[in-house]
Structure 1
């Protein structure tokens, strides 16, 4: 079994476990928690293709503790553009923690959290999955009042492939060429902050940036080739169109980038490229490369979960201010 296939199996198994803990309620029906918080599962935000529904889950903090419209963190799952769903799989420093535990941390801090599904590369290729995610942002903003969300305080957050989506949302908000017409239109898809956890930013340079002998190939047969419909080196113009580096501009919102120095799946040089581009245009941002750390912040015994999450929380608090 290839290394990539093994990674597929592990992620797929984790997704099945995660889905097993999702309450089986009617789509959109509120689920109340003991602390006063609430969840709504499987809210359909767009219907694409031949009746294919795209859904999101929404988690909200207790109204008794947090008054006024809530800032929203929009989580976009990873999985090599080909795997997983909104239930996700999120490893944190040497062990697996499902996103709902991190979601709970955010909800406890006063944030609403939405987790989006999007079409995977076996079903649709770039730019359609990006159109899906933008449709999700538009739907959430259009329904902000009824969902008690602040439409002016949206942040994108994703890991691996989801980090790419987060960076693309930050750099291409409301860009007509990449907006798509899925779902609700005429509403902004912009975000006011973005967090990129070890996401790719330039598909064509990934092989040249490999940092370990076990690094995955990003050419023929790679997840990136499946997502684009061609190996990146063979379609450079399309690859550039799919790069957030092509769209960084002075209006790009604040960004947090976190990556491991020994990432054998997405080279840390991908985050360095984004760091340089944001610096060049003066966008407020922070880029942290954690030493001796692999994909998913795995492998570094000296890196504690709180080191990653405290920085993450501090960034969100600074730019979305849940106490406002």
Structure 2
């Protein structure tokens, strides 16, 4: 596996450069040969914390390498956090990464095949939103995502993660909150989506995923919903997190092979 750190994928005046890390298969340049499918990974952290360098803790340092061993390249991205810029900044950044990842990979000698999105928690929200409102992707994996900002427990407190992301409490900006919610953009031609959520999640209610999957299916889209017994946020309480990772990779591999 080759790791290329600090690749700039975007520049917004007044902000730090937008960067990603590439995880690529070993070997000579694949340009002109078989294209490698790529996962654009979006980290969580309530839109205000987190880094591409620190993926989900319970999977440790093997999180990205396991994706590469499964036949994918990975673009692990950072995006503007809520302390830097409010919505739609983070969503714009994810869309920009998706739009530019093939060219970035080509500049490092690797042809990009199908592009996928994968995110957890706030990153799952951004992955779903970008997939529904941005450049086309082939599929999405979202772990314990926020899907409806208007249905979060506290829509009036200006100090919640959601309010900091939006720039105001959801109750004060209902139209903006709906626009920023993936559930508002479900459509029949959406890419296939795997939604995984712990059935004991106390930070982001399981209903966020259940309602989103139902809405996408009702719209004619394809949603596979997996509720993980005993698991809370970040897969705390889950018996085998590595198995959840493998199941997610299997979902994407089936799309590649179809």
TM-score range, shorter chain: over 0.9
**Counterpart selection for 2:148 from 202, 206, 211:** 202
Deviation at 1:190, TM superposition (A): 2.2
**Counterpart selection for 1:267 from 198, 205, 212:** 205
User: What is the TM-score of this pair, normalised by structure 2?
Assistant: 0.92
Q: In the alignment, what sits opposite 2:93? A: 132
**Counterpart selection for 2:112 from 122, 140, 150:** 150
Q: CA RMSD in A?
A: 1.9
User: Which residues in structure 2 correspond to 1:1-324 (within 5 Å)?
Assistant: 37-50=1-14, 52-63=16-27, 68-91=34-57, 96-98=58-60, 100-147=61-108, 148-151=110-113, 153-173=114-134, 189-207=135-153, 217=154, 219-220=156-157, 221-300=159-238, 303-321=239-257
Q: Tell me, yes or no, if the aligned pair for 2:36 and 2:112 is still in contact at 8 Å.
A: yes
Deviation at 1:141, TM superposition (A): 2.6
Q: Tell me, yes or no, if the aligned pair for 2:193 and 2:222 is still in contact at 8 Å.
A: yes
Q: Please list the CA deviations of residues 175-207 of structure 1 after superposition, one character each: whole Å capped at 9, or x if unmatched.
A: xxxxxxxxxxxxxx3211001100101011121
Q: Tell me, yes or no, if the aligned pair for 1:130 and 1:165 is still in contact at 8 Å.
A: yes
Secondary structure of residue in 2 paired with 1:234: coil
Q: Call closer, same or farther: CA 1:128–1:227 in 2, change over 3 Å.
A: same
Deviation at 1:271, TM superposition (A): 0.2
Secondary structure of residue in 2 paired with 1:232: coil
Q: Please list the CA deviations of residues 227-253 of structure 1 after superposition, one character each: whole Å capped at 9, or x if unmatched.
A: 001111221111100011111111100
Q: Please list the CA deviations of residues 106-155 of structure 1 after superposition, one character each: whole Å capped at 9, or x if unmatched.
A: 1112110010010000010000111111111122133343341324x000
Deviation at 1:68, TM superposition (A): 1.7
Q: Please list the CA deviations of residues 290-319 of structure 1 after superposition, one character each: whole Å capped at 9, or x if unmatched.
A: 12210011124xx21243123112101111
User: What is the TM-score of this pair, normalised by structure 1?
Assistant: 0.74
Q: Distance in 2 between matches of 1:140 and 1:306?
A: 27
Q: Tell me, yes or no, if the aligned pair for 1:260 and 1:294 is still in contact at 8 Å.
A: yes
Moved over 4 A (4+): none
Deviation at 1:165, TM superposition (A): 0.8
Secondary structure of residue in 1 paired with 2:116: strand
Q: Distance in 1 between matches of 2:63 and 2:155?
A: 30
Secondary structure of residue in 1 paired with 2:63: helix
Q: Distance in 2 between matches of 1:291 and 1:282?
A: 27
Q: Distance in 2 between matches of 1:46 and 1:170?
A: 18
Deviation at 1:268, TM superposition (A): 0.7
Deviation at 1:320, TM superposition (A): 2.3
Q: Call closer, same or farther: CA 1:60–1:109 in 2, change over 3 Å.
A: same
Q: Distance in 1 between matches of 2:53 and 2:156?
A: 29
